[in-house]
Structure 1
Amino acid sequence: MPHEIALTESRTLRESVMDRVEVLDKVKALTLLPDGIHLTTEGVAAYFEIHKEAVHSVVRRHREELSLNGMVSVQGSDLAALRTVNLTIRSAERSLTFPQTQGKVRLFTRRTVLNVAMLLRDSDIARRVRSHLLDAEESFRGQHQGPSAEEFAALDARLCRVEARVAEVGAVLQELGPLLNRIMDRLDRVERRVDATNRVLAALADRVHRLGADVRRLDHRVGRIEQTLRRQALRES
């Protein structure tokens, strides 16, 4: 496991553990603004028990990195809106009020405070945070390490058994192949016979329909002949 000072020297190492903000409260309670999200420069300095100029120094040297991890500066209407939010949600548990300055206020999130902890060299709190951070990371890796040689061997044996079953299934499918082909051929023949029968039935239905039309026409002609014969019989009588 690397020494805690390695975090102050390697940005890559810092980025690999940047999400583990829970270690902050394990070292010391973090006093946030009433919104429960931000700290001011003074709040960060109080957490690390240093002068706020030390925080300014870290910001000057690592502004880009800290900005990527949540540090922002607010002023004007944004500052007024943020002050209103903080004053509105202030509770008995959070007696700290929002700064009343009309200038610019720099704000830090938990993630940014953790970033500062990995950059501060002259703070015992920061050193303890780094140590807790590396311990937590080492514990996490121990819990999520890969399988042992025995576990790997057991997995390999299970995989071999699965492969053997797959081979058996493949052999059965090869035996079933010709039978399935014969069944498909028979189904094709049945379908062709059914299609032929349907065509014959359709032709018969058409002929029946035409025959019905002929019968109706014949019946109409017979009716006319009967009417003619009745009229003639009436005239002769």
Structure 2
Amino acid sequence: MPTEIALLESRALRADHLGRVDVLDKVKALALLPDGIHLRTQDVARYFEVSTEAIKKVAQRHREELASNGLRVLQGSDLEEFKGDNLSPFPLHGMSYPQPRSGLTVHTRRTVLNIAMLLRDSEVARRVRSYLLDTEEQRRTPVSGPRFDGDGLGHRVTQLESAMSEVGPALRELGPLLVRMSDRLAELDQRLDARTVSSGR
């Protein structure tokens, strides 16, 4: 059973737990952007109840690891497209437009979980790590009872439950993206219909 210190120190151990993004919402609600997938650095800082500088320092020290888990810096056309999808002409409370030249750093749930396993001075991050380690211990505890003796059924049930716990968060992340794609396809259909009518076909 890995310890919290081992989790803080070992990238390999952190990688073993990155599929458990469901833990984040069990500890505290995440304030996602309208796409339902991304957060800004200030949103991550608010979640962990630390300064944005603390999050930026973690990102600087572990840039490669976090980038492999969803951290992106948007600039140019990518930034403009992202703003169009996520920042309406009437910004939400506390949401301001970034300056085009400065770029915008965005995080996914996976990035936030990764930061939780790196951020030492946050009580929320400690709770996330504790929850991760506690659920890992429960997974490793064999299921006892006559129904599961002898044939390894208990082990297979535990594996199935573990796999199912990772499907839900993945579907939650894909849901908003699929909705946006559906809306865009509907809009394209309407445009196509309008052109067909105007051309008299």
TM-score category, normalised to shorter length: 0.5 to 0.7
Partner of 1:174: none
* Structure 1 residues 114-129: aligned runs within 5 Å: 114-129=113-128
CA pair 141-85 structure 1, distance change in 2 beyond 3 A: same
1:34–1:97 contact (8 Å) kept in structure 2: no
1:4 aligns with 2:4: yes
Partner of 2:21: 21
Deviations 1:111-137 (A, max 9, x none): 000000000001000000000011122
| Aligned counterparts of 2:6 and 2:97: Cα–Cα separation in 1 | 35
Partner of 1:47: 47
Deviations 1:126-159 (A, max 9, x none): 00000001112222233689xxx95159xxxxxx
CA pair 142-63 structure 1, distance change in 2 beyond 3 A: same
| Aligned counterparts of 2:94 and 2:22: Cα–Cα separation in 1 | 22
Secondary structure at the residue paired with 1:2?
Answer: coil
TM-score normalised by length of structure 2: 0.66
Q: Which has the larger radius of gyration?
A: 1
Relative contact order (alpha carbons < 8 A, sep ≥ 6): 1 or 2 greater?
A: 2
Deviations 1:16-39 (A, max 9, x none): 111000000111110011111101
Deviation at 1:60, TM superposition (A): 1.1
CA pair 20-150 structure 1, distance change in 2 beyond 3 A: closer
Deviations 1:193-218 (A, max 9, x none): xxxxxxxxxxxxxxxxxxxxxxxxxx
Amino acid at match of 2:32: L
TM-score normalised by length of structure 1: 0.57
Deviation at 1:61, TM superposition (A): 0.9
Amino acid at match of 2:36: G
Deviations 1:25-76 (A, max 9, x none): 1111100111111011111111101011111111111100000000000011
CA pair 35-151 structure 1, distance change in 2 beyond 3 A: same
1:135 aligns with 2:134: yes
| Aligned counterparts of 1:12 and 1:144: Cα–Cα separation in 2 | 27
CA pair 81-10 structure 1, distance change in 2 beyond 3 A: same
Q: Structure 1: where are the runs of 5+ without partners?
A: 154-237
Secondary structure at the residue paired with 2:150?
Answer: helix
Percent identity reads 54
Secondary structure at the residue paired with 2:141?
Answer: helix
Deviation at 1:98, TM superposition (A): 5.7
| Aligned counterparts of 1:99 and 1:118: Cα–Cα separation in 2 | 30
Partner of 1:58: 58
Amino acid at match of 1:70: G
* Structure 1 residues 49-128: aligned runs within 5 Å: 49-87=49-87, 97=95, 99-102=97-100, 103-128=102-127
Deviation at 1:13, TM superposition (A): 0.7
Secondary structure at the residue paired with 2:87?
Answer: helix
Give the number of aligned pairs. Answer: 150
